[in-house]
Amino acid sequence: MRRTISVLAAALWFAAGCGSAQARAAQPASDDFKPCADAAGDAALAGSLCARFSAPLSYADPGRGQIDLFVREFPAKGRSKGQVWLVAGGPGESGATFYSMLATFRAAFPGYDLMVPDHRGTGFSTRLCPKEEAVDSEGGAALQGAEWATCFGSLETERERAHAFTITNAAQDLRRLVDRYGDRGKTWIYGVSYGTQLVLRTMAVAPPRKVDGIVLDSLVPPETTQTWDLSRRSAVVDEVGRKLLADCDAGPACREQLGGSAVAAMQAVVDDPKLAAAVPGGKPKLFFGALLDFPELRARIPSLLAALRAGDAAPLVQAEQDLEALGAGLMRFPQSPSSIPLVAMISASENNARQGLTKAQVEAEAANYLFVSPLAGQLVGAASMAYPRDDAFGKPPARLPRLLVVQGDMDPKTPYAGAEAHVEALRAAGQVSLVKVGGAPHFVLFTAPDCFTRAVKPFVEKRRAKPKACSID
């Protein structure tokens, strides 16, 4: 089960195991776009163009050297109306997360070139641990075996270099990329999860010359939050899980299936060591919490509880396999593996409001929950990796182009209430619309693509939002 959760974390939380020849072939020597040499190897990459762009390691001290940024372009079919820059989540996910979702992007942004950068520290861009995260290393771009120790050791010995991989420097990267390549037609920016934080940081400290509009999917709470930061992720997960159980309790058929309250059924599994041991990984709070990320798996929770209490663990094994398959589907490309070092460093530096969090605190809080996330535990002791927050932390953009937020109300990562609070704060800078997607979890484009398209396409084509709620139920 530990492997299942790690796949999910890499794929959806924030998130290139291939031969080095393929990786180098995908990375042209100049910053001009050229046909990608790997485009013939996967239908999803057909017709794509690739470029590498050189940027300062540190914008505050440009003399400290350069890094490379990898960008892949999927040209529009027919005459292009402009560009959409797709900013992945994480921190740690590369743009490869989007490669299998191009049909949804094309439906929502018809006629636009799709521009997909890899953040600094991810994918084919310069990595935090160049040796250990190299595509021809033992584990490919993912750390494996002894690479964990040598990579994290190098972050300590080369702390000044590691601390240049900040959100603010990544924001400067995005501005330069958009300015370098975004000179054709209209310019849109799409960001998801951590990508929404990066996009807003860009608009606050280094706005590109021209941005016609922004779409934010699964908006993070305000950076200064003391309620929804990453150290409190289990509280967010538990709230969504309990809402699911409450909905079950409100339905006679669901209650009949469980022989009573769904909340009581879940509590019984948590409290009974024998039942808990039959759950994959032996940690029911963690396992069922992971299922909340996917509507189809989430809907099975009542029947899984019923089967477990009846002594049938087979449906849980199937759910685990399906969870693995969904994660693997998001990890199919060479640069897909999330950069765990980058996840750890940025999360500890800018998204953890409790730097002194202890294991005892995490365990005490988890005791009151029925669903949990492993994230809080992973933050314990992570403060040693943190870089100092700069003046951009918590700084709102002074001006924004038209902006649309698409948010699920069953999001166990970036809660709907946090998005509402952030939207209210952003309205001081421009026109901001919020579309609520009923029943959708995190990453609406992936988990509720029809609702995403229904919200975004009118916003793009008619220059106005359709602030009508959509539901996947």
pLDDT in tens, the chain (473 residues): 333 333 333 333 333 223 333 443 444 456 899 999 899 888 999 999 999 999 999 999 999 999 999 999 999 999 999 999 999 998 999 999 999 999 999 999 999 999 999 999 999 999 999 999 988 888 888 899 999 999 999 999 999 999 999 999 999 999 999 999 987 799 999 999 999 999 999 999 999 999 999 999 999 999 999 999 999 999 999 999 999 999 999 999 999 999 999 999 999 999 999 999 999 999 999 999 999 999 999 999 999 999 999 999 999 999 999 999 998 888 888 888 899 999 999 999 999 999 899 999 999 999 999 999 999 999 998 888 899 999 999 999 999 999 999 999 999 999 999 999 999 999 999 999 999 999 999 999 999 999 999 999 999 998 665 557 899 97
Q: What is the per-residue pLDDT for 330?
A: 81
Q: What is the per-residue pLDDT for 183?
A: 73
The candidate with the shortest Cα–Cα distance to 348, out of 292, 387, 392, 316, is 387
pTM of the model: 0.92
Q: What is the per-residue pLDDT for 464?
A: 62
- For residue 3, how many other CB atoms are within 10 A of its CB? 10
CA distance 348 to 386: 5
Report the first-to-last Cα separation within the chain, whole angstroms.
29
Q: What is the per-residue pLDDT for 466?
A: 56
How are strands ordered across the β-sheet holding 66-74?
34-35, 49-56, 66-74, 113-117, 82-87, 186-192, 213-217, 402-408, 432-438, 470-471
Beta strands 186-192 and 82-87, pairing class: parallel
Q: What is the per-residue pLDDT for 30?
A: 66
The candidate with the shortest Cα–Cα distance to 39, out of 82, 102, 92, 93, is 102
Residue 5: both structure tokens together: 């959760």
The candidate with the shortest Cα–Cα distance to 279, out of 266, 263, 296, is 266
Q: What is the per-residue pLDDT for 182?
A: 84
Strand partners, 435: 406
